[in-house]
Structure 1
């Protein structure tokens, strides 16, 4: 099974992934835990480019999108595809839905660009996607509490409102795959929500 986890900053994805990872291991499953952008040494280098703040050169929206897919192509070939073909369960912190929410809904890029990249470079889609949803001010408050903010976390509230709306649009279109979890609840309640879908 291929499971992805989505949401804006600070909604508790890392906590939920950890809980599900340990739960599935206790069930005897062979589980691979990974993330995007990243997941391989090369993709992690690309991640550092995407997240670093560089006041001397602003990254263009197209560059951001292409770097995301460069990391994703490497990640798919090196980690996700081999794991799934070996019968393992893959838990991935963000996947293609994040590109729609952040680069299309958030940055305003055409979904046609995304579709071309998906058709040519994405060979697998998650069987189930958990969307952790919370008001953006809650997520941003949590993100600020963690310390230094990366390039995405420094975006203004209006950007994250657009991202959240992008996830809502995906959820309305693909409700069979995407499951909305109320991320304003406690981590235990969020885990129980996710577990009800997995069972």
Structure 2
């Protein structure tokens, strides 16, 4: 088991990203167990938007469709970053400072892909990202890549889709292209083929994690 001083020195922020139906939930469970096994501590688990009492209320705003007052794209983007700023300031950074590993269900890459690529708001997203994050980023991002049609079919089989999940397929194609573009230009983002069997996906994730500094 790692000593306390080693855990503090090596504490990392790992994020799972992917389109709807990519299998993030099972991947998060796998990575959570791996971190606990190798550090002796359960990681702090977060989700975006959300993760704090105030940020969870913001999550409701972007997830629930209101036909009488539809959320415009710019407002959606601002809410995501407001929730992210709360989460980073009140949960993620304090946990890392205490030597706790943090495992995130989505982070900034999702905004770049969905609001930047999908919504076509990249100038706004880039400006807000720079202003709020000030260079803060995950140590490792596992991007679960899947064709949007396959992913949405999987998501639909789980039940009713939320406001974002019912966007047109072109929206998700643009988001995927953005995910892949950032992954191709950032060594901290690892692409996992999520169209494989669950066993193969998990095998690939474990292979990536084993290359991390423990």
TM range (shorter): over 0.9
Tell me the residue number matched to 1:8: 19
How large is the Cα RMSD of the aligned pairs?
1.1
TM-score (norm 2): 0.89
**In the TM superposition, what whole-angstrom CA distance separates every residue of 1:1-20 from its partner, at most 9, and x where no partner exists?**
11111111110011100111
Tell me the residue number matched to 2:81: 69
**In the TM superposition, what whole-angstrom CA distance separates every residue of 1:106-165 from its partner, at most 9, and x where no partner exists?**
0001x3322322222115200111110111111100110111110011111111111111
Structure 1: runs of 5 or more not aligned = none
- Provide runs of 4+ in structure 1 moved above 6 Å: none
- C-alpha contact (below 8 Å) 2:13/2:138 kept by paired residues: yes
Number of equivalences:
197
Q: What is the alpha-carbon distance in structure 2 between the residues aligned to residue 112 and residue 137 of structure 1?
A: 28
2:18 equivalent to 1:19: no
Structure 2: runs of 5 or more not aligned = 1-11
Tell me the residue number matched to 2:189: 178
Select the residue among 79, 84, 90 that pairs with 2:102. 90
TM-score (norm 1): 0.95
1:142-153 matches, cutoff 5 A: 142-153=154-165
Select the residue among 169, 187, 191 that pairs with 2:202. 191
Greater radius of gyration (CA): 2
- C-alpha contact (below 8 Å) 2:192/2:201 kept by paired residues: yes
